[in-house]
Structure 1
Amino acid sequence: MCLVFVCGEEEKVVSRQPAPGACPYCGGIILAMDVERGWNFCFLPLYFKTKRRYCCSICNRSLLLH
């Protein structure tokens, strides 16, 4: 007997807009991105969540807010 689970995770950038401030590492423009993450099981969507991420447009570092 063979049992196969087909699971997958998908990330998609929904929107991008400039955020106020500058990158503390290189001084570049900060981008605020809305990222939609979804999990699939056998090509059926199970879970969707949208998060906002911040990154620099020049050095591509991920930035965290404190």
Structure 2
Amino acid sequence: MEFFCFLVDQKREMQSQRPVAGLCSRCGAAARVADMKTATRFCFVPFYFKYWKAIICTFCGATLKSYGN
């Protein structure tokens, strides 16, 4: 009997952030524009990277809007 187990996961990382005019619709705190990077890993080896921008709340951490590249 053969058994294969593949471990695939994603890791999100905030590269940089800057303030933006506006408030969070969920908690009312300030929002920021962040440059995000998502790394998809297979057996702990990254094989795909995606860079995108997102508007993120500074208090609750909710992603309010995302912009794909």
- Using structure 2 for the length normalisation, give the TM-score: 0.68
CA deviation map 1:16-65 (0-9, x unaligned) = 11013444666542201111001011222111011111023345443238
Per the alignment, do residues 11 and 64 of structure 1 end up closer, same or farther by CA in structure 2, a change over 3 Å counting?
closer
Using the alignment, how far apart are the partners of 2:50 and 2:8 within structure 1?
A: 17
Of the structure 1 ranges 31-40 and 54-63, higher mean CA displacement relative to structure 2 is found in: 54-63
Alignment of 1:18 with 2:19, yes or no, is yes
Moved beyond 6 Å, runs of 4+: none
Per the alignment, do residues 2 and 64 of structure 1 end up closer, same or farther by CA in structure 2, a change over 3 Å counting?
closer
Q: 5+ unaligned residues in a row in structure 1: which ranges?
A: none
Partner of 1:8: 9
Aligned residues, how many?
65
Q: 5+ unaligned residues in a row in structure 2: which ranges?
A: none
Aligned residues: CA RMSD? 2.3
Identity %: 28
Of the structure 1 ranges 2-11 and 19-28, higher mean CA displacement relative to structure 2 is found in: 19-28
Using the alignment, how far apart are the partners of 1:19 and 1:3 within structure 2?
A: 47
